[in-house]
Structure 1
Amino acid sequence: MTQAVSHWISSCSEQLFDLAGRIGVATGDSDETALRKRVAIALFAGTLPFTIVWSVIYLAAGAPLAAAIPGFYSVFTPINTFIFARTRNLAIYRFTQLLFVLILPWLVMMALGGFRSSSAVILWATLSPLGSLLLDDLRRTLFWIAGFVALLIAGALLEPYLSPPALPEIFVRWFFVLNLGMVTIIIFGLLYYFVDRRNFFQERSEMLLLNILPKEISEILKARPRTIADQFPTASILFADVVNFTPMAASMTPLELVDLLNEVFQSFDNLVETYDLEKIKTIGDCYMVASGAPRPRADHASAIVNLALDMQAVIAERRFGGRQLSFRIGINSGPVVAGVIGRKKFIYDLWGEAVNLASRMESHGKSRCIQITRATYELVKDEFDCDALGVIDVKGAGPTEVWHVIGRKAVGPAQEPSIGTTSVAL
């Protein structure tokens, strides 16, 4: 039952704010500005049915002065909203509406003789500081709060000198219920929608942030922006690069090239997520992944080799952009420093000789091969079949022993497969 009511309120709020969103919103408005304009229309124009009904009831009850005040609001607000729709000037629309929402309920209270005889109609004036809180700068909201308090004090001082009209007791009692109920519903509806939209934008921002930085790092930076540099004594790094990329790129339009790389890297992203590894970045046609940073794990080498084998399988099984691609993949293991440096447009990155050598394994590798160093080989030799290639001369590292990973070793009937070594199919 509670969920049904919540869904109904949410559905009604969405329809109301969608309608409001067509008024006064310009193409170049930011999400926040557009949201404020929608809330303004819903708050000020959305209360018109109540002011019209209140005006009619007061008139029927023999209080023409009290009826004229909400009647004035019922005429002024559509005109002001029409002007706002043409000018799209939120500042003027917001100020004039907030001013009348603040003063008019107080005038109705005065016309009806005070707090009790007016059934606390001044409660409607609370929508003024609330509207300012949602629609304006936080500091300016203090002005409207101070105005509301000043009117309360003025009302208390003037009430002994007022002459209330003779309204029936049952009328006063039920208007207490209507004023309290309607104001509460409006406040709840506004806050419900505003919080829902704020959460939506916050979740979208959070998703974008997590697509840039690891969750552990984003939490640190949200708490206190600073330089982050962590030492990881053992991790594994993978570089993958498209073979013959330059001549292929020369034969394609920029859009075709971007679409091709996007399709390839999205398939790699799915595998990285499956193995709970960390995609570091893409540099042109190069794809970089880390295992063991920022989340240390004992099986970092086997996990990243499993990833490499599945990357090879995906490339072999599919055509991307109508082309059969081939990759060079290089892997190395060792100590790294990982973190975030700089103040703007920062990324999570890795540094160290282990990273440089992993890059060299890729650039000195062969097409459709996974080339690894001794450091990685010693960690994965019991799980994978590897072909020793001997010693090659690596730029910046000198003579280096390398191996090619052939595939996973067969699991015997008495053996259990280790975690993270199952092939993943897309």
Structure 2
Amino acid sequence: MNFLERLRNAGINPGDSEELRLQKALLVLASGLVSIAAIGWLLIYWALGPKLSTTLPFVLQVLVATNLLIYAASGNFAVFRFSQLAIFLFFPFIAQWAMGNFVTASGVILWGLLAPVGALLCAGPRESVPWFVAYLFLTLLTGGFDFLLADYLIGMPAPVPLKASMAFFALNFATISSIVWLLMRFAILERQKALAALEDAHRLLGIEQDRSERLLLNILPQPVAQRLKDDDCTIADGFADVTVMFADIVSFTELASDMTPQQVFGMLNRVFSKFDEMAERLGLEKIKTIGDAYMVAGGLNTESNDPCAAIAQLALEMRDWLAGAGARGANPLRVRIGIGTGPVVAGVVGKKKFIYDLWGDTVNLASRITGEGAPGSIQCDAATYARLRDRFVFEPPHIVPIKGKGTVVVHRLAGRLGQQVGQALPTHPQRAKVPGGA
């Protein structure tokens, strides 16, 4: 910054901390107030004529102003602070010694209080101690000399009439009290502004933290997200009984070929957002989407008391909702769904763009029986069927070939007992006995 900018901005630099900015502003403000007061004292002394010399207030004004200009030119705040506080401390005592005693000088040494007060505000509590000790020492020293010389000074003509001396007492006390009050008020107001800005920053930080928390919970289950935040370690857990479901939109490639990219995205976003709402309502954990396929699991958390039944209910709701005309306008969508139940391994893969995923035969089986199903079918493995057969309607079992596992018995879920296929399902189904068992 050039000289005028430094003078106008109190020498504050863009890289200064808030505390340093406040210290610079306070000391420059104190210098300005002392300069204004020196002008007032200069005019008063000049009005009294030859009774008082105008040299002292004029010298004070010149010293303060010159030191301020040097600081504006150099930008060295440490030197400026020390030299200005030294002027505030020693000049009032020099002035009183030149004018006589406490009475004749009207307590002008009270101005020296600006030094420890200025050091407290512009340097800190610890750094202000030497300045306050020096002020007390000079005050006691001056008082001691006045006490010893009191008899000698009795009878000597006073340079200022008693009435004028009393008026100067009042002016000195009023002026120095006003300057100290203005400095303290300015410091408190600036700190309140800084505190308000800090609180606002904390509020914005809290909003961003909540947003990041929600984003993380959209990617990972809540317990897993908490573990990642607490400890940056590898997360891999085994679950003995988890129900996994895959849902695949039928003929999606053919459907997408007649649509623009924006239309394809809009369709998938509507479908998967609806699936998300259904899964969240039933306390299930969405794992991921793979192109036009949707993967969800139950039993990874405690939000569902019967995750296998909740998965079955979700499958029926997804199938029936997609079959409606509202899913894709005039052309309803169809879906293949595969459900498997058994042990899985769950964990977080990678360090960047990580994902929470599942592995194991249960996952592979659910994925493969999905691809073997007919459009609109919900195929379940034997373990899933065993848990649901007394509450849901199944078609007769059939055998499908599965790569790597040979032939597998698959049961096709048709609906819920006591309801027609496609009828709305309750969130918490009641158990019912299937006549004749399986």
Cα distance change of structure 1 residues 261 and 344 upon mapping to structure 2, 3 Å threshold: same
1:308 is aligned with what amino acid?
A
1:266 is aligned with what amino acid?
S
Gaps of 5+ in 2: 1-13, 39-59, 91-111, 140-170, 420-424, 431-438
Q: Secondary structure at the match of 1:365?
A: coil
2:229 to 222, 232, 242: 222
Aligned to 1:8: none
Report the TM-score, using the length of structure 1 for normalisation: 0.65
Cα contact 2:26–2:122 (8 A) shared by 1: no
Q: Secondary structure at the match of 1:382?
A: coil
Cα contact 1:301–1:380 (8 A) shared by 2: yes
Structure-1 separation of matches of 2:172 and 2:395: 101
1:270 shift after superposition: 1.2
Structure-2 separation of matches of 1:260 and 1:40: 53
Cα contact 1:57–1:67 (8 A) shared by 2: no
Structure-2 separation of matches of 1:381 and 1:105: 86
Structure-2 separation of matches of 1:247 and 1:66: 88
Structure-1 separation of matches of 2:221 and 2:257: 34
Runs of 4+ in structure 1 over 6 Å off: 38-56, 69-73, 102-107, 160-163
% identical aligned pairs: 32
Task: Give yes or no for the alignment of 1:289 onto 2:296.
Answer: yes
2:399 to 362, 367, 391: 391
Structure-2 separation of matches of 1:54 and 1:301: 76
Please show how residues 71-150 of structure 1 align to structure 2 within 5 Å: 109-113=85-89, 116-117=113-114, 120-122=117-119, 125=122
Q: Secondary structure at the match of 1:117?
A: helix
Aligned to 1:357: 365
Cα distance change of structure 1 residues 104 and 187 upon mapping to structure 2, 3 Å threshold: farther
1:64 shift after superposition: 5.0
Cα contact 2:30–2:183 (8 A) shared by 1: no
Aligned to 1:35: none
1:276-329 alpha-carbon deviations (Å, 9 max, x no partner): 211111111111001001448541100111111221232123233774321111
Structure-2 separation of matches of 1:70 and 1:259: 70
Larger gyration radius, structure 1 or structure 2:
2
1:170 shift after superposition: 3.3
Please show how residues 8-407 of structure 1 align to structure 2 within 5 Å: 57-62=33-38, 109-113=85-89, 116-117=113-114, 120-122=117-119, 125=122, 152=128, 155=131, 166=172, 168=174, 170-171=177-178, 174-175=181-182, 177-179=184-186, 181-295=188-302, 298-317=305-324, 318-320=326-328, 323-407=331-415
Task: Give yes or no for the alignment of 1:408 onto 2:412.
Answer: no
1:369 is aligned with what amino acid?
S
Cα distance change of structure 1 residues 408 and 105 upon mapping to structure 2, 3 Å threshold: farther
Cα distance change of structure 1 residues 105 and 409 upon mapping to structure 2, 3 Å threshold: farther
1:253 is aligned with what amino acid?
T
Report the TM-score, using the length of structure 2 for normalisation: 0.64
Structure-1 separation of matches of 2:265 and 2:66: 63
The total of aligned residue pairs comes to 338
Cα contact 2:397–2:412 (8 A) shared by 1: yes
Structure-2 separation of matches of 1:319 and 1:189: 50
